[in-house]
């Protein structure tokens, strides 16, 4: 490709709203252009890099038995209603009506479509196991797109779906994906870790996320250096500090003027926060059939801990949580700032009130809790002696310095960008859509499914985030839009440099070496700056000065060293360098121990 013919141009400065380095550089280097919030056009350079990522995805999926198919972006809402996700998923789903007034969906994922195919195509155990995948456009109406391609609304995703007759088959396919995903990232020269994660709207039995560790990440991770435990904070477990055993004392009412916070209460009474019970209030939207029911959630957690909203939402099956208003709190008979589940005398019916207690509360005797009277608390409240809950479970958020749930070592906190996820769906969709097969024993059984996704654009952005310097992008050979950036510096009064560059461009293309040829009539400074900005792995410069030494200048983008390569040796030297760069990346593709 000649740069004089390339659609798009490099930019001297990035738009002011580009908030991370990968976004700024991909804009400046002419890879992407923004059409709207979270919606991008991918220009030729980006498209070439994304095609290389897609080729890696296809190769690794094919290696583990995948069959590529294609499924529609536009889907009838009926299949989403059958699984319940039409109601369970909020406004991020793209909904519209067609000309016949039928509800339709813009694909945000394809579990329903795969399950619909399965119930039509699979009848016998002899047709299992199977693995299908596709690379397709998705739409999720994210209210807060940011960081360029890292958080978008329209995107391209590779999603694969495993279909098995038994749970052992699912385990095998899940573990095959677990390793294949590491192979994909390592082939793109991106180091990642796998962490346990929330299955979220996907549902299912188990999920892992692949995280690129970076300060720009929106996900918070808890990691253990002692045993290797890793989890997204949304689901991270930890060993909760035990309370000392005590005799259960009788409840005692005490005045606590203006003590509306746990901090104020603990200071006023001269107690540690671990001796208090904290009340947290939410209104939850909970799917019931095809409708959403709003329920008041009264959560209780020990005062030295923070509540984890994801754990709470998963526990009660909520689609959304929002903080309850003061009027809503008062309606259940609670007093904001002085509330507890004791002595509730409100107008809210029990059917729309759920009390959820963290599992540390029953193990913590004689806690101070609200009296549901202004400026008043109760000493020595105990669960279950003094009140009951609908659920007792872990709803606490893990923090840095908490004890690892596996080995007790102190957990470390890190930030990360999710670059892929894998889910054990089990029979979640098979049961909803009637995906059954006739087993060898003659019994109808549900197909057991797994779902596995990687966003292509986000992966590209993370590679850019990892591989750049102050001058621009520094692409790994496997993802670079071109292997070589050929720069022509025209001489004065002689066509030798131009003739040599044109001949070299033709010869390299014929040899299968990908070349971006800067044949523009620009200054050397502009050409070198653009070469650094675009970031192809190897730069070849044809100039009168180099030709006077019977060669051309070669430089790796990542290095400062420049060498003169004799013209007859250029082709073989480039082949050797490119192969060496490939071998360097291949050496990183090694087995990774599976963490359940």
What is the full DSSP assignment across 281-334? Answer: EEEEEEEETTEEEEEEEEEEEETTS-B-HHHHHHHHT-SEEEEPPHHHHHHTT-
Centre a 10 Å sphere on the Cβ of residue 200 and count the other Cβ atoms it contains. 16
Contact 228, 447 (CB under 8 A): no
Identify whether residues 83 and 220 lie together within a single domain: yes
Q: What CATH number does the domain containing 519 carry?
A: 3.40.50.800
**Which of 358, 393, 428 is the last residue in one of the domains?**
393
Identify whether residues 565 and 512 lie together within a single domain: yes
For 239, counting Cβ atoms within 10 Å of its Cβ (0-12 exposed, 13-18 middle, 19+ buried), the class is middle
How many angstroms separate the CA atoms of 277 and 470, rounded? 51
Residue 348 has pLDDT above 60, yes or no: no
Average pLDDT, integer, range 122-135 = 98
**Which of 465, 495, 526 is the last residue in one of the domains?**
465
Inside any domain, residue 475: no
Inside any domain, residue 552: yes
Q: How many percent of the chain have pLDDT more than 70?
A: 97
Closest by CA position to 517, among listed 544, 493, 498, 533: 498
Closest by CA position to 402, among listed 181, 168, 195, 224: 224
**Position 197 confidence tier, pLDDT thresholds 50, 70, 90:** confident
Average pLDDT, integer, range 46-50 = 98
Centre a 10 Å sphere on the Cβ of residue 52 and count the other Cβ atoms it contains. 21
- The domain in which residue 575 lies consists of 482-586
Closest by CA position to 13, among listed 26, 23, 28: 28
For 175, counting Cβ atoms within 10 Å of its Cβ (0-12 exposed, 13-18 middle, 19+ buried), the class is middle
Count how many domains the chain has.
3
Instruction: For 353-395, write each residue's pLDDT tens digit.
Output: 899 999 999 999 999 999 999 999 999 999 999 999 999 999 9
Inside any domain, residue 594: no
Helix, strand or coil for residue 444?
A: strand
The structure's pTM equals 0.91
Identify whether residues 121 and 219 lie together within a single domain: yes
Inside any domain, residue 196: yes
Q: Rounded mean pLDDT of the chain?
A: 94
Identify whether residues 348 and 426 lie together within a single domain: no
Identify whether residues 377 and 452 lie together within a single domain: no
DSSP string, 143-167: SS-BTGGGB-SEEEEEEEEEEESSH
How many angstroms separate the CA atoms of 500 and 504, rounded? 6
Contact 230, 195 (CB under 8 A): yes
pLDDT, residue 350, reads 55
Identify whether residues 186 and 46 lie together within a single domain: yes
End-to-end CA distance of the chain: 47
Inside any domain, residue 4: no
Q: For residue 545, how far is the Cα from the chain centroid?
A: 50
Identify whether residues 287 and 365 lie together within a single domain: yes
Identify whether residues 84 and 202 lie together within a single domain: yes
Identify whether residues 209 and 166 lie together within a single domain: yes
Strand partners, 290: none
Contact 141, 107 (CB under 8 A): no
Average pLDDT, integer, range 474-480 = 98
Kindly state the DSSP code that residue 14 receives in the 8-state scheme.
-
Average pLDDT, integer, range 96-111 = 97
Residue 205 has pLDDT above 90, yes or no: no
pLDDT, residue 484, reads 98
Inside any domain, residue 8: no
How many angstroms separate the CA atoms of 432 and 449, rounded? 12
pLDDT, residue 201, reads 59
Inside any domain, residue 420: yes
User: Which of 413-427, 441-455, 481-495 comes out lowest in average pLDDT?
Assistant: 481-495
Q: What CATH number does the domain containing 52 carry?
A: 3.30.930.10
Q: Within a 13 Å sphere around the CA of 61, how many CA atoms are in the beta-carbon half?
A: 25
Q: For residue 316, how far is the Cα from the chain centroid?
A: 24
Average pLDDT, integer, range 103-108 = 97
Identify whether residues 282 and 134 lie together within a single domain: no
pLDDT, residue 204, reads 67
**Contacts by 8-13, CB closer than 8 A, 24 or more apart:** 8/33, 8/43, 8/44, 8/45, 10/530, 10/533, 10/534
Identify whether residues 70 and 196 lie together within a single domain: yes
pLDDT, residue 399, reads 94
Instruction: For 524-570, write each residue's pLDDT tens digit.
Output: 999 999 999 999 999 999 999 999 999 999 999 999 999 999 999 99
Helix, strand or coil for residue 158?
A: strand
pLDDT, residue 319, reads 85
* Residues in the chain, total: 596
Helix, strand or coil for residue 366?
A: coil
Contact 404, 239 (CB under 8 A): yes
Instruction: For 574-587, write each residue's pLDDT tens digit.
Output: 999 999 999 999 99
Average pLDDT, integer, range 437-460 = 97
Helix, strand or coil for residue 400?
A: coil
Identify whether residues 208 and 70 lie together within a single domain: yes
Contact 120, 79 (CB under 8 A): no
Kindly state the DSSP code that residue 116 receives in the 8-state scheme.
H
pLDDT, residue 202, reads 60
Contact 165, 126 (CB under 8 A): no
**Which of 465, 494, 528 is the last residue in one of the domains?**
465
Inside any domain, residue 399: no
């Amino acid at each position: 490709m000649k740069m004089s013919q390339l659609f798009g141009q490099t930019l001297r400065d990035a738009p002011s709203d580009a908030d991370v380095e990968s976004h700024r550089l991909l804009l400046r280097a002419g890879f992407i252009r923004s059409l709207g919030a979270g919606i991008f056009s991918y220009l030729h350079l980006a498209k070439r890099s994304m095609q290389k990522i897609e080729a890696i995805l296809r190769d690794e999926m094919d290696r583990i038995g995948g069959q590529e198919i294609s499924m529609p972006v536009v889907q009838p809402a009926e299949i989403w209603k059958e699984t319940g996700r039409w109601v369970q998923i909020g406004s991020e789903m793209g909904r519209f009506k067609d000309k016949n007034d039928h509800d339709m969906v813009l694909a945000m994922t394809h579990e329903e479509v795969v399950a619909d195919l399965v119930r039509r195509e699979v009848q016998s155990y002899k047709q299992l196991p199977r693995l299908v995948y596709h690379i397709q456009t998705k739409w999720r109406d994210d209210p807060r797109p940011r960081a360029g391609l890292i958080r978008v609304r329209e995107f391209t995703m590779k999603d694969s779906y495993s279909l098995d007759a038994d749970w052992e088959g699912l385990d095998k396919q899940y573990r095959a994906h677990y390793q294949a995903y590491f192979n994909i990232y390592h082939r793109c020269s991106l180091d990642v870790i796998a962490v346990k994660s929330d299955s979220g709207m996907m549902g299912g039995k188990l999920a892992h996320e692949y995280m690129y560790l970076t300060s720009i990440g929106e996900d918070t991770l808890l990691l253990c250096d002692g045993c290797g435990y890793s989890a997204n904070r949304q689901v991270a477990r930890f060993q909760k500090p035990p309370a000392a055993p005590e005799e259960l004392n009788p409840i005692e009412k005490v005045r606590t003027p203006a003590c509306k916070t746990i901090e104020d209460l603990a200071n006023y009474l001269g107690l540690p926060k671990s001796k208090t019970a904290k009340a947290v209030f939410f209104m939850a939207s909970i799917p019931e059939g095809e409708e959403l029911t709003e329920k008041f959630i009264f959560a209780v957690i020990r005062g030295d801990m923070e509540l984890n909203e994801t754990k709470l939402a998963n526990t009660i099956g909520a689609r959304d949580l929002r903080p309850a208003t003061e009027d809503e709190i008062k309606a259940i008979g609670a007093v904001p700032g002085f509330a507890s589940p004791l002595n509730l005398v409100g107008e809210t019916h029990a059917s729309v009130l759920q009390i959820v207690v963290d599992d540390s509360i029953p193990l913590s005797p004689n806690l101070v809790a609200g009296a549901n009277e202004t400026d008043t608390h109760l000493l020595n409240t105990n669960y279950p002696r003094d009140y009951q809950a609908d659920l007792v479970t872990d709803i606490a958020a893990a923090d840095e310095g908490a004890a690892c749930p596996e080995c007790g070592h102190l957990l470390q906190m890190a930030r990360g960008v999710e670059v892929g996820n894998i889910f054990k769906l089990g029979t979640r969709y098979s049961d909803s859509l009637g995906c059954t097969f006739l087993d060898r024993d003659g019994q109808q059984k549900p197909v057991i499914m797994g779902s596995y996704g990687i966003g292509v654009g986000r992966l590209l952005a993370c590679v850019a985030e990892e591989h750049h310097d102050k001058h621009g992008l520094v692409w790994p050979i496997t993802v670079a839009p071109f292997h070589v950036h050929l720069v022509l510096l025209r001489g004065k009064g002689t066509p030798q440099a131009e003739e040599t560059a044109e001949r070299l461009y033709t010869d390299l293309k014929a040899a299968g070496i990908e070349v971006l040829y800067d044949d523009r009539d620009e200054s050397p400074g502009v050409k070198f700056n653009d070469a650094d900005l675009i970031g192809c792995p190897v730069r070849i410069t044809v100039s009168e000065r180099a030709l006077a030494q019977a060669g051309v200048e070669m430089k790796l983008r990542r290095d400062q060293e420049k060498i003169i390569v004799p013209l007859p040796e250029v082709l073989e030297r480039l082949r050797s360098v490119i192969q060496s760069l490939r071998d360097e990346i291949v050496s990183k593709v090694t087995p990774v121990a599976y963490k359940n």
